Amino acid sequence: MLHKNLSVNEAGHLALAGMDTVELAKKYGTPLYLMDENRIRENCKIYIDAMRKYMGEGSRPIFASKACCFKRMYAIIAEMGMGTDIVSPGELYTANAAGFPMEEAFFHGNNKTDADIEYAMNVGIGHFIVDNQEELDAVNACALRRGLRQKILLRLTPGIDPHTQKKISTGKVDSKFGTAIETGQALELCKYALSLPGIELEGFHCHIGSQIFDYYPFRDAAEIMLRFIRTLLDACGHEIRTLNLGGGFGVRYVENDPVVDYEANIRGLAEEIRRICAELSIRQPDILMEPGRSIVADSGMTLYTVGSVKTITGYKSYVSVDGGMTDNIRYALYESDYTALLANRPKDPADFCATIAGRCCESGDIIQEDVMLPRPVRGDTLAVLVTGAYNYAMASNYNRIPRPPVVMIRDGDDYIAVRKESYEDLCRNDM
């Protein structure tokens, strides 16, 4: 099957990490997010081990928690000894509430408010990833009021186009994120940062995009960033010791996507980084990477119950499920590919072409178009695979639909990581 934690069991049902998904759908109801905790841990370990082994002791992955954010998730990441990215005070709050060690957190975002900056310093965040000069001034001012020097990385745009989808490409010179190297603004910003008493410029950051299936775009970005490290060394005598290359390694959502060997890619990237550093005569900085989807995506799946099946003669057939864009908005946002199958009879011949629709009052509320399934009937359990990233995290209450629960599977057991929202939850803040 698509990933090794998926199988068909003796009952002929789809299983995730050996657990019968149809039974879990009965137990918890649908829609239901399932996540395979062991898979998450294995994915973390691939990055941790490969980065340490090939890129040196101080090199390590940082989980981009925007991909999947709730307390239990931060607890797992902390147990794995990984740091985390956070991009908003809400994520920061959640991590802190989960007992995440704040010195291992990196605060991202292209527009942190003064209140956000105060709050992050209150909880003792390790690093700010500073996007621009206004923010640098604000962080400096806040640090000085507290009599401390705040460690930062500067987010720079290397001017790379990884040829992924436009909406998830972020490293180009005209991106809304970061400060451009190409225009000379990055060097000016570095000089300015070095003049500020409340700022400790520890490193650089770049993030070129997502769904990248091999390390070549990362190598190109690393080369530009390492050259810039050399430039700064020559211009100011300041040595950058941390280079964060961002996230973005791809994930196999459908059979047509390649299988990504993260370990081999990290090894290949490490060799290139060593070579470039030697060419530039600089010490290799510690390398950080920020995987998001490749940590969590293949741990997850979403289960739905099929409702109406409607064929528009001569056109198409809609299979409506009891969830939709409120739990998975990615097809509506970027036409993301997903694999769907009937969890209660995955082996039946898939001879029916279905457009899977949600229950929201929006024509764009589609989970996937033109997928081949066994002809579904009301009451079937429909599984959408590889939904561990950017599904729960992007879920909404549109049409006052409560968010589904997140159930984790661990060592043959299941437990609730996030409770199902109730109708009272929906009205909690209504006056």
Under rule CB under 6 A, residue 67 binds ligand PLP:
yes
The Cα 93–Cα 71 span in angstroms is 10
Under rule CB under 6 A, residue 60 binds ligand PLP:
no
Q: Residues 89, 159, 291, 404: which binds ligand PLP (CB under 6 A)?
A: 291
Indicate the residue among 297 and 342 with the shorter CB distance to ligand PLP.
Answer: 297
Q: Are 65 and 86 in contact (CB under 8 A)?
A: yes
Query: Which burial class, exposed, middle or buried, applies to 423 when counting CB atoms under 10 A from its CB (0-12, 13-18, 19+)?
Result: exposed
Closest CA to 354 of 338, 373, 335, 367: 373
Under rule CB under 6 A, residue 247 binds ligand PLP:
yes
Indicate the residue among 162 and 405 with the shorter CB distance to ligand PLP.
Answer: 162
Indicate the residue among 24 and 87 with the shorter CB distance to ligand PLP.
Answer: 87
Q: For 53, which DSSP code? A: H
The Cα 48–Cα 126 span in angstroms is 19
3-state SS assignment for residue 64 = strand
Of residues 379 through 408, those in contact with ligand PLP by CB under 6 A are 389
Count of CB atoms situated within 10 Å of the CB of 346: 22
361 carries an active-site annotation: yes
Considering only the stretches 111-119, 242-250, 351-359, 365-373, report the one whose residues sit in contact with ligand PLP under the rule CB under 6 A: 242-250
Indicate the residue among 157 and 381 with the shorter CB distance to ligand PLP.
Answer: 157
Indicate the residue among 84 and 284 with the shorter CB distance to ligand PLP.
Answer: 84
Q: Residues 22, 64, 306, 406: which binds ligand PLP (CB under 6 A)?
A: 64
Under rule CB under 6 A, residue 292 binds ligand PLP:
yes
Q: Give the shortest CB-66-to-ligand PLP separation in angstroms.
A: 6
Count the residues of the shown chain that bind ligand PLP, applying the rule CB under 6 A: 16
Residue 61 is inside which H or E element, if any?
Answer: strand 60-64
Indicate the residue among 133 and 165 with the shorter CB distance to ligand PLP.
Answer: 165
Which residues have C-beta within 8 Å of that of residue 349, sequence separation ≥ 6? 374
Under rule CB under 6 A, residue 158 binds ligand PLP:
no
Indicate the residue among 156 and 341 with the shorter CB distance to ligand PLP.
Answer: 156
Considering only the stretches 139-147, 246-254, 315-323, 374-382, report the one whose residues sit in contact with ligand PLP under the rule CB under 6 A: 246-254
Only one residue has tokens 């604000």, namely 138
Q: Are 215 and 269 in contact (CB under 8 A)?
A: yes
Q: Which amino acid is at 8?
A: V
Q: Are 421 and 428 in contact (CB under 8 A)?
A: no
Closest CA to 217 of 184, 258, 250, 175: 250
Considering only the stretches 60-68, 181-189, 349-357, 360-368, report the one whose residues sit in contact with ligand PLP under the rule CB under 6 A: 60-68
Per-residue x/- mask for ligand PLP, residues 307 to 346, rule CB under 6 A? Answer: ----------------------------------------
> Could you please report the per-residue DSSP string of 293-354?
HHHHGGGEEEEEEEEEEEE-TTS-EEEEES--TTT--HHHHH-----EEETT-TTS---EEE
Under rule CB under 6 A, residue 91 binds ligand PLP:
no
The Cα 12–Cα 345 span in angstroms is 6
Paired strand residues for 368: 356
Under rule CB under 6 A, residue 290 binds ligand PLP:
yes
Per-residue x/- mask for ligand PLP, residues 206 to 225, rule CB under 6 A? Answer: -x--x---------------
Q: Residues 246, 358, 376, 388: which binds ligand PLP (CB under 6 A)?
A: 246
Structure tokens, 260: 């990504």
Under rule CB under 6 A, residue 43 binds ligand PLP:
no
Considering only the stretches 16-24, 27-35, 291-299, 411-419, report the one whose residues sit in contact with ligand PLP under the rule CB under 6 A: 291-299
R_g of the chain computed on alpha carbons: 23
Considering only the stretches 243-251, 312-320, 371-379, 395-403, report the one whose residues sit in contact with ligand PLP under the rule CB under 6 A: 243-251
**Which of 206, 236, 361, 427 does the annotation list as catalytic?**
361
Question: Which region, left, alpha or beta, applies to residue 98 given φ > 0 means left and ψ of -120 to 50 means alpha?
Answer: alpha
Q: Are 103 and 331 in contact (CB under 8 A)?
A: no
Of residues 107 through 126, those in contact with ligand PLP by CB under 6 A are 108
Considering only the stretches 8-16, 188-196, 290-298, 312-320, report the one whose residues sit in contact with ligand PLP under the rule CB under 6 A: 290-298
Q: Give the shortest CB-65-to-ligand PLP separation in angstroms.
A: 9
Active site residues: 361
Task: Enumerate binding residues for ligand PLP (CB under 6 A).
Answer: 64, 66-67, 85, 108, 207, 210, 246-248, 290-294, 389
